[in-house]
Each structure stands twice: as C-alpha cells, then as structure tokens.
C-alpha cells in the first residue's frame, strides 16, 4: 500500500477538521453575538468575519465529504484511513458533544425559574457548543 | 480492569526488523497514528489488529502484548 498517500490524506483530513472547527466557531459565534446584542445595524467587522467563517466552514465540509466519497471508491484506503482508531476517536467526540448538549440543557433548565431566556438563544447556544465540542474533540483526538 | 495495563513489544520488534512506524502501518493497512498510539499504550487495538501485528512479526499475540498488574 502506498504509504505517503495514506499519510498525506490523513494530514489533509486533519487540516479540514481544523478549518471546519475554526469556521464553525466564528460563523455561528458571530451569529449568536448578533442575536444576543441587538445592534441597530450589524458592524461591518462582524459581518465580514461571519462571511469568511461561513465560507471556511462550507469549503472544509465539502472537502471532507469529497474525501469520504473518494475513500468509498477504494476499500484498502478506506480501511486504513477510517480504521478502528479513527472510529474510536469519532465515537468519543460524539459522546463529548452529546454530554455538552445535555449539560447546557440542564444549565438552562436550572436557570429557567429565575430568568426568561428566548427560545432562539437557548437553541443557538446549545447547538453552537454541542457542535463545537464535537469538532474540537475530533481535532484534539486526531492530532499528531 | 483499572489495576491492569497492556504493554507491548512493537517498538522492540520494529527495531529488530528495522522498519519505521510508517512502514509498519502500510504493511498492516492502518495509519501511522494508529501504530503510534498502540505502541505508546494510548490505544488498545482490536483482536483482529493484534493478530495482524503478531502475524507480521511472526510471533504469538501473547508475546507481542502482555497484560500486567499495575
């Protein structure tokens, strides 16, 4: 089996995950900020960060999907790159994301008798940190 | 299982065969990271992968992996 190709694809995949994480953090992060702070007009800096981050997230996700489709055409390469370590790390990342979602839901539940929080903010924050926890875990577990 | 740990002889066997982690990974059909994490004890491989490694080094699985008391 071609050693360098596997390692190159593995490094490329790790980099796609890193950029998807950065993209998500800034895209959805700025989205929440604009929901929390009611600007009369969204500042240009925030708008540009959101656009760039959205593009970064979308491009990285497309590249991850493309890589996955390429792997599906080559069983040996798929077995190597989506081996048991990768699957184990992915399961752990999903578990962490799930625990974060439950944790945030519990915090909002405990706060609910004292403060009124709009449903949109609750959904935004839960989704943001749940996905971010999964992505960050994925990057940490699959780093070199 | 908390008071037991799995140690392995992969590094020693690799040195005897004079091959790198990357070369071993290619022979077994996994990534270098997989070999690295098994070698350093961070990841416990499946039985299938353990057998593949033992077969490659032409030794028994018990010789490659040992369960020790902490």
CB–CB contact A86 B49 (8 Å): no
Is pLDDT of A2 > 70?
A: no
Q: For the residues A112-135, what does the mean pLDDT come to?
A: 94
Provide CB contacts within 8 A for B11, sequence distance 6+.
Answer: B39
| pLDDT band with cut points at 50, 70 and 90 for residue A3 | low
Residues 33-62 of B with CB under 8 A from A: 33-34, 37, 43, 45-46, 49
Mean pLDDT of chain A: 91
Full set of structural domains in chain B with CATH: 4-65 (1.10.260.40)
* Percentage helix, strand, coil for chain A under 3-state DSSP, each rounded to 5: 85, 0, 15
Taking the CB of residue B38, how many other CB atoms lie within 10 A of it?
Answer: 25
Take residue A60 and report the two structure tokens written for it.
């990285």
Residues with pLDDT less than 50, chain B: none
pLDDT value, residue A91 = 96
Domains of chain A: total: 1
- Residue A39, domain extent: 3-141
Q: Cα separation of A104 and A143, whole Å?
A: 27
pLDDT for the residue B1: 58
Contacts of A85 in chain B (CB under 8 A): 30-31, 33-34, 37, 43
**What pLDDT shows up at residue A137?**
97
For A105-123, how does the pLDDT look when each residue is reduced to its tens digit (9 = 90+)? Answer: 999 999 999 999 889 899 9
CB contact under 8 A, B30 and A85: yes
pLDDT of the residue at B61: 95
> In angstroms, what CA-CA distances link A118 with A36, A112, A127?
10, 10, 14
Reported ipTM: the value is 0.85
Q: Is the confidence at residue A71, as pLDDT, over 80? A: yes
Can you give the pLDDT at residue A38? 74
User: How much is the average pLDDT of A93-115?
Assistant: 96
Q: Do B22 and A3 touch (CB under 8 A)?
A: yes
pLDDT digits 0-9 by tens, A22-68:
999 999 999 888 877 776 777 888 889 999 999 999 999 999 999 99
Q: Which of A1, A6, A88 is nearest residue B43 as measured by Cβ atoms?
A: A88
- Do residue A80 and residue B25 have CB atoms under 8 angstroms apart? yes
Residues near A90 by Cβ (< 8 Å), separated by ≥ 6?
A138
Q: How far apart are the first and last CA of chain A?
A: 21
pLDDT at residue A49 in the model: 93
């Amino acid at each position: 089996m071609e050693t360098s190709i596997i390692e190159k694809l593995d490094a490329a995949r790790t980099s796609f995950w890193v950029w998807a994480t950065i993209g998500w953090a800034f895209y959805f992060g700025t989205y929440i900020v604009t929901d929390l702070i009611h600007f009369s007009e969204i500042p240009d800096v925030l708008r540009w960060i959101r656009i760039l981050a959205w593009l970064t997230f979308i491009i990285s996700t497309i590249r991850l999907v493309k890589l996955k489709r390429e792997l599906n055409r080559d069983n040996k390469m798929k077995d190597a790159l989506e081996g048991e370590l990768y699957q184990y790390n992915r399961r752990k990342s999903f578990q962490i994301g799930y625990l974060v979602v439950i944790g945030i839901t519990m915090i909002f539940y405990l706060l609910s008798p004292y403060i009124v929080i709009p449903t949109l903010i609750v959904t935004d924050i839960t989704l943001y940190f749940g996905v971010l926890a999964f992505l960050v875990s994925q990057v940490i577990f699959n780093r070199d | 299982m908390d008071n037991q740990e799995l140690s392995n002889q992969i590094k020693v066997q690799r040195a005897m065969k004079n091959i790198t982690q990357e070369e071993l990974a290619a022979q077994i059909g996994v990534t270098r990271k997989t070999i690295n994490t098994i070698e350093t004890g961070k990841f416990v491989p499946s039985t299938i992968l353990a057998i593949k490694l033992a077969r490659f080094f032409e030794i028994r699985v018990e010789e490659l992996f040992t369960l020790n008391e902490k």
